[in-house]
Structure 1
Amino acid sequence: MMQPGSVEDPQRKKEELRSFLFLTAVMVPVLSVVVVAGYGFIVWMSQLISGPPSH
């Protein structure tokens, strides 16, 4: 007999699959864009304050 919290529970497997797909299809691209945009903003602001890089 299956217990509600067991790994073989089909409802739990469906929920885990949905969570995995959400993380891989939505959160990873969103976080990647946020990290790159944040880095670009930091570089832009630092150049605005201290000027462009020089030799």
Structure 2
Amino acid sequence: MSLPAEQKNQRRKETRLFLFLVVCLFPLLSVAIVGGYGFIVWFLQMLYGPPGPPN
């Protein structure tokens, strides 16, 4: 392979990786992080009760 063909192939791989990260991985990761945080808050409220002044 010549050098420009290798660069073109590398650029195509980088573009596909970027699209995978932006379209698939980052949205799934953000949903998992927010969902995990919500689960932790829900579970802690089951153990310690809701926030607010004590009765």
Same topology, TM > 0.5: yes
* 1:14 match: 12
Question: What is the identity, as a one-letter code, of the residue corresponding to 1:2?
Answer: L
> Which ranges of structure 1 fall in alignment gaps of 5 or more residues?
none
**Which stretches of structure 1, 4 residues or longer, exceed 6 Å deviation after superposition?**
none
Partner residue in 1 for 2:3: 2
List alignment gaps of at least 5 residues for structure 2: none
- The count of residues paired between Structure 1 and Structure 2 equals 52
Task: Give TM-score, length-normalised by structure 1.
Answer: 0.83
The alignment's C-alpha RMSD in Å is 1.8
Q: Secondary structure at the match of 1:54?
A: coil
Structure 1 counterpart of 2:41: 43
